[in-house]
Amino acid sequence: ILSTGKHTPTYTIFVQRIGPSDGNVISEWTVERRLTDFYTLESKLTEFQWRLPRYTTTSLWSISSEPAN
């Protein structure tokens, strides 16, 4: 819920930091982000000449009833 009282979908991202030599998990955490955060990230990356692959909202953000693997 936003400070305005409106409900907004969030995405929970599970992050793992993997060791370079052995491939073991060094640390892990979760973060919650809104869809607009991804647009902000893309904007900043392109500002510094990074190129992200183009995507369509239907394939990247589609909702499935199947559990995530």
What is the rounded CA–CA span in Å between residue 21 and residue 36? Answer: 35
Lowest mean pLDDT, pick from 1-5, 12-16, 18-22, 40-44: 1-5
Identify the residue whose tokens are 């183009």: 54
Domain boundaries, the chain: 11-60
* End-to-end alpha carbon distance in the chain: 27
Mean pLDDT, residues 14-24: 88
- Smallest CA-to-CA distance from 38 within 68, 61, 59 is with 61
| Cα 7 to chain centroid, rounded | 19
Q: Which residue type sits at 48? A: F
pTM of the shown model = 0.43
Please state, rounded to an integer, the average pLDDT across all residues of the chain: 74
Higher-confidence residue: 41 or 67?
41
Q: What is the mean pLDDT of residues 27-49?
A: 82
